[in-house]
Structure 1
């Protein structure tokens, strides 16, 4: 392709006319230019560009061109997103582009009314914006003729593909796409969009599913650069021509101090603050409001209306702050931002890149992020993350291993969809992809043995146990991929504010019971225990926020744990450090002086008998090491991401014997029974397979092997 004119020539001429005259674009962005040829040619692809890099248009324009060129009829393109809010945000744009060609685009997710769904089913829009869970609901619903509705389907766009692929929603998405392909009787063109991927080629192979090796595919990334960093580094898709902007690291010590800094800095600007928990969002929001700052909040436990009001008001305002969890990390448009502020450290470099990409979108502005650490440990984590980022490293997106519980879910969902499935033919529905191949047979046998499935005449169909466990409300829980902890819905009059943890409503307190929600304090006036509702009235101060949830602990990777060790050994990230941050980092280095050594790992023995092995290997590698060296590791509080606690009275001889045993083969970590109970659809697996599934996900054999290869230094200390 020789230039912008050639790129426009490859698009439908009506589309090109509107791009120039309606959007006012005289040229396309590099990603948009380079995506036209492969996408109009029907290739599978992963499109990489920074946040606000025009990825939606890079996929939509070629597909609309292909739609018109080949005369596609009915619903021919699916646009799949991980969040309903992102779908709502994208719908007006895609509807506008479709309108230019006389085509239609509609939304389908859990908030869409029944009447609107009927219109969609009757009209079959050309583009359907939806989630994987809603797609599966359509496949199993008795009210949807899925074969007729999807008969014209040709292509699927997966936005924020990395947000799917790194957890079980990715496996679920792949499985649903394979079933859709079989329903339509043709392979579906698959296009993934992402801003931050460390292994785009592997991710594209994963996204292709059963089409890998059979269909043409390419990664489209105009500014793709090779990583030269360390720590199992991966490619970082960041344009080298774009300056990184200004990154600053500060230490503030408390949420109240963070609010003071935020209120004093950058007045008159629009600021987006990311926090690592809903509780911190609420506490910071209240503190900012008390200081007279115009503040809006966004997190998963606020009502949809509350979040929409906050996002709309924030998009239209100027001198204000919006405080959010990762709900605003993805591509939801909240207008032009001046600043991003990060409280403590996100768990991944990829998350930081997404958040950094929210700034610097206007001409003449640069990307920026101010880190505010609430304690010394978070300051160390932030410094480690920024060090890895500066090395050009980003996490590879790797699908969780052994999703046996999803195999169980998918087989049950398929039997709902088809009513009866041949006991020797079910594997064909997924084209033999990874977990759905022959290795899934023991799971299906268990479903039959335990009554989840019945078998008759060589056919499988839904059994009484599946009816009992999942049959409520037309098997709705079978299409929901995660189990959420119980929460109470909070109302002020008839207005829903959000949801809160029931522990706040049951714990013993002195005085009136107050909640903190939507950045405001509320007095609890009545609790409807049966319907799980809580009614409140405004209060001045004193409210409290809490959510327990599953997986509350942030798990640090091997690479980030090792980067923290590098920081403790004296390496600073190449960002601006305030005097407070530099002083606290020096103090943190002094505190860990005994725990790091440039020549390998350290085992410390304190005078009180406490023995720790400082591996700096991350949670999963340390869990693997603890299981593999069980003869010398204490069974109580065995490890965190920095260290592993060893047994009292350990001798060097016993240590050498344990290392020799571990060298013959590493063991998977032990899994708590509570974790197995928290695994959605884990009850449909044999207990040993449920345990094995979680154990494989809690391990890091590569990181553990690296640690075992390091020399070990033994140090005796007089006190802690």
Structure 2
């Protein structure tokens, strides 16, 4: 490291040395992006491995009097096998870390291997034949080792001394995280030891949950090392916009195209998008930046608008899209450009560049729309302001123009206020705790099939003992586990032999032998996009495709020339027009704490200095609507024939309250932070709430049985109705939050509207409760 110009260690790097070297504790290292977490883990790890090699070779120790003891038993050489297992959520991060670790480990004579779907087979065969040193791998590739080389796991990891989990936060409370926990436990069962685990993360909101994830059998023995040297200066601006209709709408676009006219993207996107793109162009051009959007369609739209803006200015394009549906080589070109210091580049991206690969220092971060979460915003912000420079964050939020049909959520400017609340929580250093992952039954099904593949069969007792101890499947007691096995057998995933051994059924055998088995999470059906014979990437097609149709992808405009419905291939050629493809967006549940902070924003009078003039005006409008609706006293607002409930609880509580009210015959929908009860007066809503409150608080399972779309995770389809209800109840039902909503409705059923003379108050024809 001295050769790379290092003169000192960061505080987290110094404090990690002792705990990692003594190998008696699991460790979590939490520090800002680019604070050297990888080195904090691997410098002491490499020292330990180098010392072991020196002792095995008989090299003298630091103390010459203890350099050789003729009476001491001979020290055996290190056990063959992988010595450090590094788990990463991203293949790109593995590639990036491979280069960094190769430099660190080379001086310690420690080999570094990588393993994922893009690694050549020759490299993998070499690793299997001579396992040693550090193995960088994804959970999916590790799963494949258990399935395809089950008998070799114990030998391959016989020398395992450390396990490192990078980007720990990304695994918390997810099917992939449950899979990872299970795989680590199965490795320890295979080698009959518990090597220390080291978790690395820049974004952890709940250390107790992180400790329990890293070592479910002993969270109290996990040491947390949090860096104290990441007090970064922040330059921040939140810009507000009002939605503006495009120049041409659908019918006008079709008429123009029928007349042979070329329709430009600037004519079909909203005016506020054009304004945001113009500000991005003027602010970001000439330096490296990341622009985050919440939907892949927005990524493509803004990348195209910015590229065309460069073209009109007769300057080289600096703006490129980056998202998960782009082909690997297309993404890697953008990543290489970000690392290239010779010319500026801005990537317009989804969460694909939120974490992981080292793209070098970027001048600023931009966020279009409210961030998915406070933790996500913190992770993204960590990409800017490296090497002692301040972090620069630009945020862009659009609100709709108000009219007589505007709902209270629109009047309250909820998107802008939620963004303000999230920034305030960020500045307070608060981050969301991880959600409850529930029973993880989908992932448990996968792990049952994997263990059977690993050992060629297993009894029910062996499977339960191996999988259902402390960890992600601890809630599956023998009774529930037996029901799960029966459900799997009913779907022909498993069969039982005469001696009681569980084996793969025909469907289970086909599933395990398919490459998609190794992933624990659900993947959406994707169509391949081919342009003049070159693959561009994939696209989840959610609407009919027509020959001659237009779309934007990879920052360029294309015309559809062919559609292969059997092979799921869309053929494209370059075109002058186009519309963004119908990608999905990044959806994250909003929790109670964010909604509570939104209330504090509404009730406050301070105006953050980091708001621009339009954002200040929108905030003032939201606060005015709050006061006019008297929402500090009431939670009900009548809107025409409907009633709006504004309880300011998290999304899970809102959804559960909607289910509860639906059992009383009401039609309820969730709309942002509000519930809309269709064709019901406040009197009817209050009566329904009181009826529910008069009964005992129900078991979450009762609500789980009312959820129709229970197939959320990959293997949910194999659950019987009762198990599906149990999984749904554990995953999404919040009875306590729902009952807080009902209590608020019962306690304060009325609400008042502004007087008719108030020019900003929309008229509401139906009367309210007195």
Same fold (TM over 0.5): yes
- In the alignment, the residues of structure 1 paired with residue 657 and residue 569 of structure 2 have an alpha-carbon distance, to the nearest angstrom, of 45
Pair 1:521-2:557 in alignment: yes
> CA 1:194–1:698 in structure 2 vs 1: closer, same or farther (change >3 Å)?
same
- In the alignment, the residues of structure 2 paired with residue 676 and residue 709 of structure 1 have an alpha-carbon distance, to the nearest angstrom, of 28
Partner in structure 1 of residue 98 of structure 2 = 91
- Unaligned segments of structure 2, at least 5 residues: 54-77, 243-271, 311-316, 400-412, 754-762, 766-770
CA offsets, 1:536-558, max 9 Å, x none?
22222324321248xx6443222
Residue 119 of structure 1: CA displacement? 1.8
CA offsets, 1:245-297, max 9 Å, x none?
11111013422211100111144221210111111000000000010041122
Partner in structure 2 of residue 9 of structure 1 = none
- In the alignment, the residues of structure 1 paired with residue 302 and residue 87 of structure 2 have an alpha-carbon distance, to the nearest angstrom, of 33
Pair 1:533-2:585 in alignment: no
Partner in structure 2 of residue 453 of structure 1 = 494
Query: Contact conserved, 2:682 with 2:750, CA < 8 A, in 1?
Result: no
Partner in structure 2 of residue 380 of structure 1 = 417
- In the alignment, the residues of structure 2 paired with residue 639 and residue 522 of structure 1 have an alpha-carbon distance, to the nearest angstrom, of 35
Equivalent position to 1:418, from 430, 455, 478: 455
CA offsets, 1:472-502, max 9 Å, x none?
xx24232222222222111223422111233
> CA 1:603–1:411 in structure 2 vs 1: closer, same or farther (change >3 Å)?
same
- In the alignment, the residues of structure 2 paired with residue 479 and residue 459 of structure 1 have an alpha-carbon distance, to the nearest angstrom, of 23
Residue 131 of structure 1: CA displacement? 0.7
Pair 1:619-2:664 in alignment: no
1:315-334 to 2 correspondence within 5 Å?
315-316=339-340, 317-334=342-359
Partner in structure 1 of residue 442 of structure 2 = 405
Query: Contact conserved, 1:522 with 1:538, CA < 8 A, in 2?
Result: yes
> CA 1:33–1:685 in structure 2 vs 1: closer, same or farther (change >3 Å)?
same
Residue 423 of structure 1: CA displacement? 2.4
Query: Contact conserved, 1:347 with 1:554, CA < 8 A, in 2?
Result: yes
Equivalent position to 1:204, from 211, 219, 228: 211
Query: Contact conserved, 1:247 with 1:369, CA < 8 A, in 2?
Result: yes
Using structure 1 for the length normalisation, give the TM-score.
0.88
- Unaligned segments of structure 1, at least 5 residues: 1-18, 224-238
Query: Contact conserved, 1:301 with 1:500, CA < 8 A, in 2?
Result: yes
- In the alignment, the residues of structure 2 paired with residue 475 and residue 497 of structure 1 have an alpha-carbon distance, to the nearest angstrom, of 25
CA offsets, 1:427-478, max 9 Å, x none?
232361242452433212332454322223132221223135x15xx24232
Query: Contact conserved, 1:633 with 1:646, CA < 8 A, in 2?
Result: no
1:207-286 to 2 correspondence within 5 Å?
207-212=214-219, 216-223=221-228, 242-253=231-242, 254-286=272-304
CA offsets, 1:320-368, max 9 Å, x none?
31111011111321121111111011121111111111111123x1112
- In the alignment, the residues of structure 1 paired with residue 584 and residue 393 of structure 2 have an alpha-carbon distance, to the nearest angstrom, of 29
Residue 662 of structure 1: CA displacement? 6.0
Query: Contact conserved, 2:693 with 2:743, CA < 8 A, in 1?
Result: no
- In the alignment, the residues of structure 1 paired with residue 502 and residue 365 of structure 2 have an alpha-carbon distance, to the nearest angstrom, of 53
Residue 562 of structure 1: CA displacement? 2.5
CA offsets, 1:612-671, max 9 Å, x none?
221121321111222334455723425643235276245387256335236634646457
Find the structure with the greater CA-based Rg: 2
Using structure 2 for the length normalisation, give the TM-score.
0.82
Partner in structure 2 of residue 232 of structure 1 = none
Residue 704 of structure 1: CA displacement? 3.4
CA offsets, 1:58-98, max 9 Å, x none?
11111112223335442111111111111111110011111
Query: Contact conserved, 1:561 with 1:642, CA < 8 A, in 2?
Result: no
Partner in structure 2 of residue 664 of structure 1 = 697
Partner in structure 2 of residue 26 of structure 1 = 7
- In the alignment, the residues of structure 1 paired with residue 304 and residue 606 of structure 2 have an alpha-carbon distance, to the nearest angstrom, of 34
Residue 311 of structure 1: CA displacement? 1.0
> CA 1:449–1:564 in structure 2 vs 1: closer, same or farther (change >3 Å)?
same
Partner in structure 2 of residue 230 of structure 1 = none
Partner in structure 2 of residue 547 of structure 1 = 583
Could you say what secondary structure the match of 2:371 adopts?
A: coil
- In the alignment, the residues of structure 2 paired with residue 682 and residue 657 of structure 1 have an alpha-carbon distance, to the nearest angstrom, of 35
Query: Contact conserved, 1:249 with 1:371, CA < 8 A, in 2?
Result: yes
1:478-517 to 2 correspondence within 5 Å?
478-503=517-542, 506-507=544-545, 512-517=548-553
> CA 1:447–1:719 in structure 2 vs 1: closer, same or farther (change >3 Å)?
same
Partner in structure 1 of residue 31 of structure 2 = 49
After superposing the two structures, state which structure 1 stretch, 320-329 or 530-539, moved more.
530-539
Could you say what secondary structure the match of 1:193 adopts?
A: strand
Equivalent position to 1:347, from 372, 394, 407: 372
